[in-house]
Structure 1
């Protein structure tokens, strides 16, 4: 994890302990790690359940702990829409930075990075390397700038009592807004509200928890993605974890690196503290890894600016969690082509019904080369005759995901169309990476190639399985194109739910 050079790590730890943070200096240190920036290393052998450090809740930075929302007033805060989405927290970070040394978080904020390798800051030429992936639609730069202009700027102009007449200075510029937003995207945790009986007067020292207290099994939840404020508002009824007030910056916890299937430490809740503790034994000199929930490289690149490359069971290296998204409109086009008919009001009616019944408009495939049940069911829905559709609608039950040659034929066409959305072929990308030692590739381009190559391999694996099945090869395993369910966000049961976004 990158850290700004304006504040040394020793200064950061000193600030942390001066504000009642508990840090086991005998257990870990932060050091520069090749290719990973700053990370945590074990100074001695550590057993599972060892507390590395504990962060007082008042030292987390959120719209709950920053004084800005209360200074502005709830009515004005909500009138400008700052209670929805990330804009409020971004403004709090900008305001705290503008306070300089008078802010409780001045040292922490000075330690955070000001440059990022995420696509948000790429040139248009580099972004073009991501064509075909879902990353481009989720970069969110345009949405962020709309929120800045429509929410933040009006408040800056209306409340010069706190922001001054020169509100457009460096602390409140659009560039600063993007930087603070990227800090939140790459480093924040979901920290739920603590007990109402806890005194949030930060002038008082919260009681220290017993370091030997058993681990709290309720782990923090991660913010989903760079969704718009409007989307987050619509999802706010799903649970407390959708509350933007739960998003918080957590000093020191955000300095641990992560890698696929390497987690050996995790952040746990306690009433007054968040506690980083080991989840398995760690040997002296080993890196202490947090978890990002093992997301695919497309998410890692968009959120954190890097990709994972670990040995794959099928050979080579990459990220075993990689996935590919297939849009419903692409499936519609293939069904229309195969059935010699164009989309009609009737197909629109079926799609509306599909969504009302809980179906999704994105289908996810991975390295297993298995058809998602949802994709199979959706194809069958679109291919139904009118009488079959009427019967299905009356039953109010999604079609069974039965795989036959008609479905496989449509899927084969979908895969062909999906692969054609990438600017290069598998062979092109493999050749490009193969010559990297002799001719180094710019980091952004390399990361883009790693992401799109993995996605194309996933699609190619499924394409071969479908083609073989259509050809009637008796050696083909029936399971290779069987249907199965997978969450559309590409996570497992707890997915990205136990760590940073």
Structure 2
């Protein structure tokens, strides 16, 4: 898209938005082109803005959802269960909003949201659209197994395409599209919903003091909606604006002083860069504090067997004695990051301060059972906590070995100009995970060394007393 076309679409969208009954847009901010840093559109301050300033207001009836779109009136059967069979069930909120977005797209100029739809992205950098070669840059990151492309396309083919093909007079101009064209459009709208849609709190919903009422819904249990202008805001782990919801409108306000030229930033939550990439197709340096690494239980078992010299048959016998419903397959290693300050800034550094509690509990239970199965496996001289730490060290070493490059090699690669945008993001995701693994490895290794020193000191003192 040319700069002129991009600017023209932005201007048409802003004019449309300002004309909405109940909408406001402060003259202290403007929409800008941030494509030079792969950030699409964004909103920046034209002058210094004090905290608690209203930046813009969005009327609720301007949100695209199943209550405001005419699709529900035309095809009510899609939004209400018609029987017990899978194909007779109502569309969940995720599928429904994708279909609504496709419907509004096919309406073209007849859609009252046409200027808004025109500024939504045409392409995405989420891994859903990556080639196998691009995905290989993620190496051992668990992100590779969370893309869900096949499941998404199955839903498109079994629920959305039949609805469109069965109602050509409703989905006007859709007849010119092949099934593959429709799959492509569904992917585009699905990614749009993934990146921008909010879970809409309604009057029947129970009040939740822990929720601001505007969080993404990925479970299909709530009404979802596309919120014009709110999704023009980019987001980061440190932010300066907040979306407040009222009965009739949403109000975006500054939560601290914003200097002229600064970007207005929203907050999507404490997501690791891997999740930002999967959902939204971007990453940020500040979100690296929330990076995570998945620890498979089989890696922990392997390390424990190696640490204690446990035969495979003994480990299998031990695991059979445990309640299978209580066993976890995956554990999440993360830093203790704390909550952001009320003004959107970090409260303090993020640090590794221990083993994931659920992993510690399962590992301790396993060691206890191993002792019952074979009392000779564990020396009385070894404390259980020492075994936990040593096993954790070996587990982290094993997981790190599954990445095909080192931290140093990734840093050298990032210093070069040979990477594409997607490759660079993948390298930064895997590098963030490796740095977390290294921090955790150092943390537990230091504890193991200290424990050994304490044990040696205690042994020496005991020997002197016995002389």
Same fold by TM-score greater than 0.5: yes
Residue 213 of structure 2 corresponds to residue 220 of structure 1:
yes
- The reply on whether 1:292 has 2:263 as its aligned counterpart is no
Aligned to 1:16: 17
More off after superposition, 295-304 vs 176-185: 295-304
Using the alignment, how far apart are the partners of 1:164 and 1:97 within structure 2? 9
Q: CA deviation at 1:260?
A: 2.1
What's 2:63 paired with? 60
Secondary structure of 1:275's aligned partner: strand
Aligned residue runs from structure 1 range 354-433, under 5 A: 354-355=326-327, 361-366=330-335, 368-369=351-352, 370-385=354-369, 404-433=385-414
CA distance in 2, matches of 1:98, 1:294: 36
Secondary structure of 2:445 counterpart: helix
2:118 match: secondary structure: helix
Correspondence 1:255-404 to 2 at 5 A: 255-261=232-238, 263-310=239-286, 319-338=288-307, 339-342=310-313, 344=316, 347-348=319-320, 350=322, 352-355=324-327, 361-366=330-335, 368-369=351-352, 370-385=354-369, 404=385
Q: Could you tell me how far apart the structure 2 residues matched to 1:75 and 1:27 are? A: 43
| CA pair 178-166 structure 1, distance change in 2 beyond 3 A | closer
Query: Which structure: larger Rg?
Result: 2
Task: Please list the CA deviations of residues 226-282 of structure 1 after superposition, one character each: whole Å capped at 9, or x if unmatched.
Answer: xxxxxx3xxxxxxxxx6241x211000101111221x11111111110111111122
CA contact (8 A) 2:126 2:279 kept: yes
Select which of 147, 151, 157 maps to 2:165.
Answer: 157
Match of 2:231 in 1: 254
C-alpha distance in 2, partners of 1:349/1:385? 8
Query: Which stretches of structure 1, 4 residues or longer, exceed 4 Å deviation after superposition?
Result: 164-168, 386-389, 473-476
Q: Could you say which residue in structure 1 is the equivalent of 2:421? A: 443
- Aligned-pair distance for 1:129? 0.9
Distance of aligned partners of 1:131 and 1:335 in 2 relative to their CA distance in 1, 3 Å threshold: same
For 2:146 and 2:97, locate their aligned partners in 1 and report how far apart those are by CA, in whole Å. 20
What is the match of residue 498 of structure 1? Answer: none
For the residues of structure 1 that align with 2:26 and 2:241, how far apart are their CA atoms? 16
C-alpha spacing 1:164/1:249, structure 2 compared with 1 (3 Å)? closer
Counterpart pick for 2:45 among 29, 42, 45: 42
1:27 aligns with 2:35: no
Which residue in the other structure is 1:129 paired with?
137
Post-superposition CA distance 1:357-379 (Å, at most 9, x none):
xx674232336232222221111
1:162 aligned counterpart, secondary structure: coil
TM-score for both structures, normalised by structure 1: 0.75
> Could you say if the C-alpha distance between residues 326 and 221 of structure 1 is closer, same or farther in structure 2, counting changes exceeding 3 Å?
farther
Q: Report the secondary structure of 1:281's partner residue.
A: coil
In structure 2, the CA distance between the partners of 1:345 and 1:254, relative to structure 1 (3 Å rule), is farther
Within 1, Cα distance between the matches of 2:384 and 2:102? 54
User: What is the distance in 2 between the residues matched to 1:63 and 1:140?
Assistant: 25
User: Normalising by structure 2, what TM-score?
Assistant: 0.80
Residue 115 of structure 1: how far off its partner (Å): 0.9
Q: 1:345 to 1:221 in 2, by over 3 A?
A: farther
**Larger RCO, structure (CA 8 Å, separation 6 or more):** 1
Distance between the aligned counterparts of 2:160 and 2:119, measured in 1? 24
What is the CA–CA distance in structure 2 between the aligned matches of 1:320 and 1:475, rounded to whole Å?
Answer: 32
- The partner residue of 1:108 within 106, 110, 116 is 116
- Taking the aligned partners of 1:149 and 1:254, their CA distance within structure 2 comes to 28
Distance in 2 of aligned mates of 1:90 and 1:157: 15
Return the offset for 1:386: 6.7
Deviations 1:31-79 (A, max 9, x none): 1235133211112322222111111111111223222123212367535
The structure that is helix-richer by fraction is 2
1:94 aligns with 2:102: yes
Matched residue pairs, number? 414
1:183 aligns with 2:192: yes
Compute the displacement of 1:25 (Å): 3.8
Q: Could you tell me which runs of 5 or more consecutive residues in structure 2 were left unpaired when the two chains were aligned.
A: 336-349, 374-382, 455-467
**Structure 1 residues 159, 349: CA separation in 2 closer, same or farther (over 3 Å shift)?**
farther
Cα distance change on mapping 1:195 and 1:107 into 2, 3 Å: farther
In 1, the alpha carbon distance for the partners of 2:386 and 2:90 equals 52
- Give the direction of change, closer, same or farther, for the CA distance of 1:349–1:101 in structure 2 (3 Å limit): farther
Asked whether the equivalents of residues 43 and 264 of structure 2 are also in contact (C-alpha less than 8 Å), the reply is: yes
- Aligned-residue CA RMSD in angstroms? 3.0
Structure 1 unmatched runs, 5+: 197-215, 226-231, 233-241, 311-317, 390-401, 477-501
- Shift, 1:186, TM fit: 1.2
* CA 360–58 in structure 1, closer or farther in 2 if over 3 Å, else same: farther
